[in-house]
Amino acid sequence: MRARSFTLASSRLLLIAVCALWSSPRVNAETGAEAWLRYAPLSPQVSKSYERLPSTVVALDHSAVLKAAQQELIRGLTPMLGRTFTASSEFVQGNSIVLGRLAEVQALAPKENPPEPLGGDAYWLKSTRIHGSACLVIAASTERGVLYGAFEVLSRIAREESVSNLDEVQQPYAPIRWVNQWDNLDGRIERGYGGPSIFFADGKVRDDLTRAGEYARLLASIGINGCTVNNVNAAPAVLEDSFIAQVRRIADVFRPWGVRLSLAVDLSSPRVIRGLDTFDPLDPRVAEWWRKKVDEVYRQIPDFGGFVVKADSEGRSGPSAYGRTHADAANVIARALKPHGGVVFYRAFVYKHHLDWHDLNNDRAKAAYDNFHPLDGAFDDNAIVQIKNGPIDFQVREPVSPLFAGLRRTNEAIELQITQEYTGQQKQLCFLVPMWKEALDFDMRVDENSTHVKAIVSGRVFDRSLGGFVGVANVGMDANWLGSPLAMANLYGFGRLAWNPNLSAETIVDEWTHLTFGADPLVIATINKLQLRSWHVYESYTGPLGAGTLTNILGNHYDPGPESSEGNGWGQWHRADKQGIGMDRTIATGTGFIGQYPPEVQKLYEPLADCPDKLLLFFHHVPYTYVLHSGKTVIQHIYDSHYEGAEEATAFIAQWKALEAHVDQERYRDILSRFEFQAGEAGKWRDGICSWIYQLSGISDQKGRVGNSARR
Query: 3-class DSSP state for residue 100?
Result: strand
Residues 330-349 that bind ligand GCW (CB under 6 A): 349
Residues 115-154 that bind ligand GCW (CB under 6 A): none
Q: Which is nearer to ligand GCW, 268 or 278 (CB)?
A: 268
The catalytically annotated residue of 241, 314, 356, 506 is 314
- How far, in Å, CA of 425 to CA of 191, rounded? 8
Residues 346-365 that bind ligand GCW (CB under 6 A): 349
Q: Which is nearer to ligand GCW, 310 or 397 (CB)?
A: 310
Give the shortest CB-390-to-ligand GCW separation in angstroms: 11
- How far, in Å, CA of 4 to CA of 591, rounded? 85
Q: Which residues pair with 416 in a beta bridge?
A: 471
**Are 69 and 150 a contacting pair, CB within 8 Å?**
yes
Of 214, 393, 511, 681, the one binding ligand GCW (CB under 6 A) is 393
- How far, in Å, CA of 250 to CA of 149, rounded? 24
Q: Which stretch binds ligand GCW (CB under 6 A): 13-21, 226-234, 277-285, 646-654?
A: 226-234
Q: Which is nearer to ligand GCW, 130 or 234 (CB)?
A: 234
Side-chain half-sphere exposure of 188, counting CA atoms within 13 A: 5
- How far, in Å, CA of 172 to CA of 141, rounded? 13
User: Tell me, what amino acid is at 415?
Assistant: E
CA 618 to chain centre: 24
Q: Which stretch binds ligand GCW (CB under 6 A): 46-54, 90-98, 228-236, 568-576?
A: 228-236
Q: Which stretch binds ligand GCW (CB under 6 A): 135-143, 231-239, 447-455, 610-618?
A: 231-239
The verdict on whether 681 is a catalytic residue reads no
Query: 3-class DSSP state for residue 124?
Result: strand
Measured on CA atoms in the order 217, 223, 226, 227, is the torsion positive or negative?
A: negative
- How far, in Å, CA of 625 to CA of 313, rounded? 38
Q: Which residues contact 555 (CB under 8 A, 6 or more apart)?
A: 561, 564
Determine what percent of the chain falls in helix, strand and coil, rounding each to the nearest 5. Answer: 45, 15, 45
Q: According to the binding rule CB under 6 A, does residue 233 interact with ligand GCW?
A: yes
Give the shortest CB-229-to-ligand GCW separation in angstroms: 14
Q: According to the binding rule CB under 6 A, does residue 232 interact with ligand GCW?
A: yes
The catalytically annotated residue of 421, 478, 584, 681 is 421
Q: Which is nearer to ligand GCW, 177 or 310 (CB)?
A: 310
Give the shortest CB-526-to-ligand GCW separation in angstroms: 33
Q: Which is nearer to ligand GCW, 182 or 254 (CB)?
A: 182
- Site size for ligand GCW (CB under 6 A): 9
CA angle 112, 115, 119 (to 5 degrees): 100
Of 39, 91, 173, 182, the one binding ligand GCW (CB under 6 A) is 182
Q: According to the binding rule CB under 6 A, does residue 454 interact with ligand GCW?
A: no
- How far, in Å, CA of 368 to CA of 310, rounded? 13
Q: According to the binding rule CB under 6 A, does residue 310 interact with ligand GCW?
A: yes
Give the shortest CB-330-to-ligand GCW separation in angstroms: 16
CA 138 to chain centre: 27
Task: Look at residues 311, 228, 179, 190 and name the one whose alpha carbon lies nearest to residue 557.
Answer: 190
Neighbouring C-beta atoms of residue 555, cutoff 10 Å: 10
Residues 483-542 that bind ligand GCW (CB under 6 A): none
Neighbouring C-beta atoms of residue 487, cutoff 10 Å: 29
Residue number of the CB closest to ligand GCW reads 393
Q: Which stretch binds ligand GCW (CB under 6 A): 51-59, 130-138, 229-237, 564-572?
A: 229-237
- How far, in Å, CA of 239 to CA of 615, rounded? 43
Give the shortest CB-422-to-ligand GCW separation in angstroms: 8
Q: Which is nearer to ligand GCW, 190 or 647 (CB)?
A: 190
Q: According to the binding rule CB under 6 A, does residue 188 interact with ligand GCW?
A: no
Quick one: residue 190, left, alpha or beta (phi over 0 = left, psi -120 to 50 = alpha)?
Answer: beta
- Compute the residue count for the chain: 712
The verdict on whether 314 is a catalytic residue reads yes
| Cα end-to-end span (Å), the chain | 70
Q: Which stretch binds ligand GCW (CB under 6 A): 198-206, 230-238, 434-442, 629-637?
A: 230-238
Q: How far is CA 590 from CA 202, 281, 585, in A?
A: 49, 37, 5
The verdict on whether 421 is a catalytic residue reads yes
Q: Which is nearer to ligand GCW, 235 or 634 (CB)?
A: 235
Give the shortest CB-370-to-ligand GCW separation in angstroms: 18
Q: Which stretch binds ligand GCW (CB under 6 A): 225-233, 337-345, 500-508, 670-678?
A: 225-233
The catalytically annotated residue of 30, 152, 183, 393 is 393
Q: Which residues contact 421 (CB under 8 A, 6 or more apart)?
A: 191, 394, 557
Give the shortest CB-310-to-ligand GCW separation in angstroms: 5
> Which residues are the active-site residues?
314, 393, 421
Footprint on this chain of ligand GCW (rule: CB under 6 A): 182, 190-191, 231-233, 310, 349, 393
